Amino acid sequence: MRKTAISSGVIGLVLLISAGLMAWWITPSYIARVPSDFNKTRTYDATIRTLFNPAALATGNLAGAIKTGLPATISETVKVQQTSGNTALVQDTRNITVAGSTVGQTVSPYALDRQTLEATSSHPGSWSVIPATGLAVSWPFGAKQQNYTGWVYQTNTTTTLRYVKQAQQGGINTYEYQATVAPTPIKNPQLLASLPKSLPVSLLPGLSAAGLISPTVLTSLAHAFPNATSVPLAYTYQSANTYYVAPATGLVVNVSNNETEMGGIALPNGQILPVLPVLAYTYHATPASLSDAVNDANSGSSTITTLGVTGPITAAAVGFVLLVLAALLWIRGGSKGRPARTASTERHPAPASGSR
């Protein structure tokens, strides 16, 4: 009986320890983090309000320089290329296509913490990454109802990802965050590479006639750039974006984003005089992409819940029962092992017979 008690106790203790390890160490450290083979592509339906054609502007064709109301598709692929402990080299590739032609593309490599998803400087020296700050591609596992710091890859700056409320997306509960970026100079070299660095002065009267530059500003430009044949250009980015995040996995399920890249004249005092929108667009997830994101969120949440909550609770409950059973068997076995107490027969002395 005591052998059974010992076996039951050992198994129960192992289950209790395993439950604690799964709940507080293994799941948070090795399950609820970006896997080494993560590779997801999301697609978005977009509407381009304005699209700038530098070649048309260079010839003075203002009518052909700006196109409006174009349907477009945006794709974003987030792929883990390498890992080193709890750090992952993640590449974020974004493409904007109109009628099958690419009108914008960026490739951004980041070193990210695999649990918090925040950019980190703790990575192998051989990795070539953007020195970002904050969240660059997604939210952390176990996202909270709080503000976060987000990375703006267009400007190489940060913005506040403000928690707003809970919201339903694709049939699941999500956290809604909003981010607003005021007009900020674009610093991303990939975005700047395809944009003109200067504007011929001869085109300024045409821009003024089109209402893009006021006569007063046109006169001031003549004073700011006397005898110049061209004026320097600079570009700004601004946005008003909304993100819907599955809290357990931190996956972005859907977005409702409004972004604008504006071209302007770089004044000698460092200010940028906005002239025309280079690229202005709104976008949200396609139905298929929303469905895929919801499935990924549900699958990830189920795995985390099973291994981090349900499994440990079940193991702990069984372990506790086995320990109680072991204690009862031990006590019972001890009582059976003692020799039974025999009743003693009392002897009473016979009365002595007296002689008379």
Residue in the block written with tokens 């100079």: 185
Dihedral sign from CA coordinates of 139, 143, 145, 148 = negative
Name every residue whose Cβ is closer than 8 Å to that of residue 228 and which is 6 or more positions away in sequence.
201
Distance CA 122, CA 125 (A): 9
Residues 22 and 80 in one domain: no
User: Are residues 217 and 279 located together in one domain of the fold?
Assistant: yes
Identify the pLDDT of residue 128. Answer: 96
The least confident of 72-81, 104-113, 212-221, 251-260 is 212-221
Are residues 198 and 233 in contact, defined by beta-carbon separation less than 8 angstroms?
yes
What's the chain's Rg over C-alpha atoms? 35
- Please determine, for residue 295, whether its predicted confidence score (pLDDT) is greater than 80: yes
Segments forming the whole domain that contains residue 61: 38-285
Say how many C-beta atoms besides its own lie within 10 A of residue 351's C-beta.
Answer: 6
List, for residues 156-169, the tens digit of each pLDDT value.
999 999 999 999 99
346 within a domain of the structure (yes/no):
no
Beta carbons of 13 and 255 less than 8 angstroms apart: no
Amino acid in the structure at residue 93: T
Q: How many domains is the chain partitioned into structurally? A: 2
Classify residue 350 by its DSSP letter. Answer: P
Examine residue 42 and state whether it is found in any structural domain, yes or no.
Answer: yes
Which of 24-33, 68-77, 144-153 shows the lowest per-residue confidence on average (mean pLDDT)?
A: 24-33
297 sits in the region (left: phi over 0; alpha: psi -120 to 50; else beta) called: alpha
Same domain, yes or no, for 255 and 320?
A: no
pLDDT digits over 51-75, tens only?
988 888 777 777 778 899 999 999 9
Alpha-carbon distances of 253 from 149, 173, 242, 250, rounded to whole Å: 19, 10, 11, 9
Let me know whether 9 and 157 are in one domain. Answer: no
Instruction: Kindly tell me if the per-residue pLDDT of 338 is higher than 70.
Output: no
- Distance, in Å, from the CA atom of 112 to the CA atom of 125, rounded to the nearest integer, reads 14
Instruction: Please indicate, yes or no, whether residues 134 and 205 belong to a single structural domain of this protein.
Output: yes
Question: What are 317-333's pLDDT values in tens digits?
Answer: 765 666 676 677 777 77
294: in domain: no
pTM of the model: 0.81
Q: How far apart are CA 20 and CA 16, in angstroms?
A: 6
Residues 186, 236: contact at Cβ < 8 Å?
yes
Give the whole-angstrom CA distance, residue 313 versus residue 322.
Answer: 14
- Based on the fold, state whether residues 25 and 54 are members of the same structural domain: no
**d(C-alpha 8, C-alpha 12), whole Å:** 6
Q: Are residues 125 and 163 in the same domain?
A: yes
Has residue 350 been placed in a domain? Answer: no
